[in-house]
Amino acid sequence: MTSRYRSSKSSVSATADVKSLSPRRRSVVKAAAATAVLAGPLAAALPARAAAQAPAFLHGVASGDPLPDGILLWTRVTPVPEATPGSGTGPDTEVSWTVARDKAFTDIVAKGATLATAASDHTVKADIRGLKPATEYWFRFSAGGTDSPVGRTRTAPAPDAAVGGLRFGVVSCANWEAGHFAAYRHLAARTDLDAWLHLGDYIYEYASGGYGTRGTVVRPHSPAHEILTLADYRLRHGTYKTDPDLQALHAKAPVIAMWDDHEFANDTWSGGAENHTEGAEGAWAARQAAAKQAYFEWMPVRPAIEGTTYRRLRFGKLADLSLLDLRSFRSQQVSLGKGEVDDPDRTITGRAQLDWLKAGLSASDATWRLVGTSVMISPFAIGSLPASLLKPLAKLLGLPQEGIAFNTDQWDGYTDDRRELLAHLRGNAIRNTVFLTGDIHMAWANDVPVNAGTYPLSASAATEFVVTSVTSDNLDDILKVSEGTVSSVAAPLIKAANRHVHWVDTDRHGYGVLDITAERAQMDYYVLSARTPDATAAWARSYRTRSGTQKVERSYDPV
């Protein structure tokens, strides 16, 4: 579009007020640690600013949730050096924002200001409206004479637009202690992304050393203890957002993010989590509320239905994207010998969310119906793996290490919801549904069968592309063996027991690029050479599903 944009409407939304939370377990030292312990990157960034006491933008800028007429902008200002994330200190500071059609900011289309306060951890969100669809914009923030880094963003196509193609980066499971975020750097280097999807586990809640890589902490978490309070979650988010590669990607393209369990605690369910001890670690409701508040303060995500992350975005007539929250409403995971995965009273989505998803899939007139699901929907049976692989695989998947034929934290543990959803797709002839998944620290390309036991003689209702972890341990890391060693043995056995699985890579870290046209949806899988800051990336495989087929096939033409 070449005409100058001459008017805009905008609104600014501030994050919610803070309610103080009392310290919890192992927290006699935590109250002091939350303010006294700084992440190395934060501490390194502060001294140069200390003398002038000038505001600083130490956590970069970001945009998210693109709409045809708007975008959500985000930053965090550090008004004085002691106003570290979670500290609850620091003066109110006016932060202005500017949006332009060019990087030089000669063609300004919107501007405004808001007050950043300790009540919102000095985070700022500006929900800009009145923009043009499918258009690139540049933005920056300013405070006290200091400008933030410049960010680039892009609005979504108009709802009725005929869109020739879309391209999204796809990532999940980025554990700070397990390595550096080179996957983000390689995505940031691309110039062709409309947006990038983060499918969950943007942060990890563990204490330092609780979940490193091959038994080693590459860079320690801050705070060092397991995060429980609002101050803890804020500081952990702040630590992650000092990563230069993450900052670069946020500044390059809008993110569309959803949470999984580690934004709260491992294996979260509606009433608790595997990594939460009620009483000793305080009340789960208080911890969950703190985690959600910090998430919405620190992420460029609009709070959606019931204050969760399930929502829907549209990209012209080419694609609808439904994002699920599979933690806030689910029943507790069953364990071996306790409970039934087929119990119709157990749910992973909650009734309201499942009805919302089904209605949206039925009503969509888009060519592709994309569904962001933080855990794998395709059924998974372990099969006849040797004991040497069964135990570490069970550990990775959170299964009883005695062995079991499903992962009860995934849709396998909530089969009635899955059965209802797949029956809805088949019964209403809903085609071109593609599930986009993270969580499992492995890359997969799957058909989603109505009946896995008789597949491929029975039907496939959808397809699924699963991306591996950015840094979090996969099977070769758990076994501490050379990359590729496990996959060469495990992948053929997994495919033999799961005939709907076209490909699985159990060993490598990386990211995906989803490329969509009217004819096909294709995931290009990229792998990293290491978890070091200078790691290289290489294309590994591509899989696609052709319009109308509901099946995955290999592609030899990465985009």
| Segment 191-205, tens digit of pLDDT | 999 999 999 999 999
Tens of pLDDT along 484-535?
888 998 899 889 889 999 999 999 999 999 999 999 999 999 999 999 999 9
Asked whether residue 462 is assigned to any structural domain, the reply reads yes
State mean pLDDT over 148-164. Answer: 98
Q: Is the dihedral of CA 392, 398, 399, 405 positive or negative?
A: negative
Q: Tokens in use for 323?
A: 């994002």
Structure confidence at residue 559 (pLDDT): 72
List all residues 6 or more positions away from 97 whose beta carbon is below 8 Å from its beta carbon: 73, 75, 111, 112, 113, 114, 124, 126, 139, 140, 141, 142
Alpha carbon separation from 17 to 3, 23, 91, 117 (Å, rounded): 41, 19, 15, 10
- Tokens 């390059």 belong to residue: 252
Asked whether residue 73 is assigned to any structural domain, the reply reads no
Is the backbone of residue 492 left (phi > 0), alpha (psi -120 to 50) or beta? alpha
Structure confidence at residue 6 (pLDDT): 28
Asked whether residue 421 is assigned to any structural domain, the reply reads yes
State mean pLDDT over 443-469. Answer: 95
Across-strand partners of 123? 76
Cα–Cα dist 243/251, whole Å = 12
Q: Is the pLDDT of residue 400 over 50?
A: no
Cα–Cα dist 81/51, whole Å = 9
**AA letter at 231:** A
Q: Is the pLDDT of residue 158 over 50?
A: yes
Confidence band for 558, pLDDT divided at 50, 70 and 90:
confident
Structure confidence at residue 12 (pLDDT): 39
Cα–Cα dist 363/366, whole Å = 9
Q: Which long-range contacts (CB under 8 A, 24 or more apart) does 339-343 make?
A: 341/406, 341/408, 341/412, 341/413, 341/414, 341/415, 342/415, 342/416, 343/416
Asked whether residue 344 is assigned to any structural domain, the reply reads yes
Tens of pLDDT along 297-334?
999 999 887 789 999 999 999 999 999 999 999 999 98
Cα–Cα dist 319/365, whole Å = 9
Q: Is the pLDDT of residue 10 over 60?
A: no
Asked whether residue 128 is assigned to any structural domain, the reply reads no
Asked whether residue 303 is assigned to any structural domain, the reply reads yes
State mean pLDDT over 409-422. Answer: 95
Average pLDDT, the chain: 88
Q: Is the pLDDT of residue 26 over 90?
A: no
Q: Is the pLDDT of residue 419 over 50?
A: yes
Stronger pLDDT, 134 or 19, i.e. the higher one: 134
Share of the chain above pLDDT 90, in %: 76
State mean pLDDT over 409-414. Answer: 93
Q: Which domain holds residue 278?
A: 167-555
Asked whether residue 30 is assigned to any structural domain, the reply reads no
Q: Is the pLDDT of residue 219 over 60?
A: yes
Tens of pLDDT along 105-139?
999 999 999 999 999 999 999 999 999 999 999 99
Confidence band for 33, pLDDT divided at 50, 70 and 90:
very low
Question: How many domains are contained in the chain?
Answer: 1
Cα–Cα dist 434/551, whole Å = 10
List all residues 6 or more positions away from 359 whose beta carbon is below 8 Å from its beta carbon: none
State mean pLDDT over 378-396. Answer: 66
CATH assignment at residue 357: 3.60.21.70
Asked whether residue 32 is assigned to any structural domain, the reply reads no
